[in-house]
Amino acid sequence: MQQHCDVDELALMSLGEPIGDDCAAHVTTCEQCAAQLAEFKELVLVGRSSGGPDNLVAPPARVWDRISEQLATEPVPMVRPPAQQRRGLPRWAGLVAASAAGILVGGAVVAVTTGQDTPTSVVASAQLAPMPDGPDRGGIADATLNRTDAGYTVTVSASGLAGPEGFYEVWLLDPKDSGLIALGSLGPGEQKATFPVPDGIDLEVFSAVDISDEPLDGDPTHSTVTVLRGTLEA
């Protein structure tokens, strides 16, 4: 029996080219070569019927514009550079103790909202209130920790909050060790915003939401001016 066909020959055969008699005879009796030829033939059939790359049509530019517009409304996990994510906080003796003691009562509301593709469920919530010895900006806020297909997010809804001296920054706080993760800032006049939580954060540890008034000094650390804080509870 003849040795197996040269694969080059089988490739040419699949394109309809005449090949040597030996291989042509062999392929009728060898399952392995026949199977290889059949695969190539299927491919050539699909390839030829495709019309080739010239038949690929690019969508009009407006399609990407619409995608970008739609994406702009999606929660995007903008993970901050690590240097900005974790930093120690000067220990404000009384403040942390007060928070740990649970000055704030967690809500018990569990709501499920369903977006098109990304169901969001509230897994914990907190009511945020001024610190006993911090500034009182006359407002209150709720925070929810949400689970989405893309990970966790935190939504803050404030009301009656007077304008900041600099800007309001939202943080996740570890009440025990005062570790902080910056989630993002509330825009001017913005009362409600959703922030993605970086993947891998231990939410048992970073269990409080803190809103600080940050001066416009470019210093990325917490100003220590907490205007509202609350502990997330399931």
**Of 25-33, 65-73, 133-141, 183-191: span binding other proteins (CB under 8 A):** 65-73
Burial of 161 (0-12, 13-18, 19+ CB in 10 A): buried
**Of 74-82, 104-112, 138-146, 202-210: span binding other proteins (CB under 8 A):** 74-82
Nearest to 4 by CA among 84, 25, 16: 25
Residues 6+ apart with CB under 8 A from 119: 112, 113, 148, 149
Does position 114 bind other proteins by CB under 8 A?
A: no
Whole-angstrom distance, CA of residue 99 vs CA of residue 210:
10
**Of 63-71, 92-100, 123-131, 208-216: span binding other proteins (CB under 8 A):** 63-71
Q: How far is the CB of 84 from other proteins (least distance, A)?
A: 18
Does position 82 bind other proteins by CB under 8 A?
A: no
Nearest to 208 by CA among 98, 93, 94, 80: 98
Does position 52 bind other proteins by CB under 8 A?
A: yes
CA end-to-end distance (rounded Å), the chain: 75
Does position 149 bind other proteins by CB under 8 A?
A: yes
**Do the beta carbons of residue 197 and residue 154 sit within 8 Å?**
yes
Does position 48 bind other proteins by CB under 8 A?
A: yes
In order, the DSSP letters of 60-97 are PHHHHHHHHHHHHTS----PPPHHHH-B-----HHHHH
Q: How far is the CB of 56 from other proteins (least distance, A)?
A: 4
Sign of CA pseudo-dihedral 39, 41, 42, 43: positive
Q: Which residue's CB is nearer to other proteins, number 74 or number 133?
A: 74
Site string for other proteins, 4-33 (x = CB under 8 A): ---xx-xxx-xxxx----------------
**Do the beta carbons of residue 45 and residue 16 sit within 8 Å?**
no
Report the residue from 39, 177, 190, 202 that binds other proteins according to the rule CB under 8 A: 39
Whole-angstrom distance, CA of residue 186 vs CA of residue 16:
67
Q: Which residue's CB is nearer to other proteins, number 56 or number 83?
A: 56
Tokens matching residue 62: 């407006």
**Of 22-30, 49-57, 128-136, 165-173: span binding other proteins (CB under 8 A):** 49-57
Q: Which residue's CB is nearer to other proteins, number 140 or number 201?
A: 201
What is the binding site for other proteins (CB under 8 A)?
7-8, 10-12, 14-17, 39-40, 42-44, 46-53, 55-60, 62-64, 66-67, 70-71, 74, 76-77, 79, 116-118, 149-151
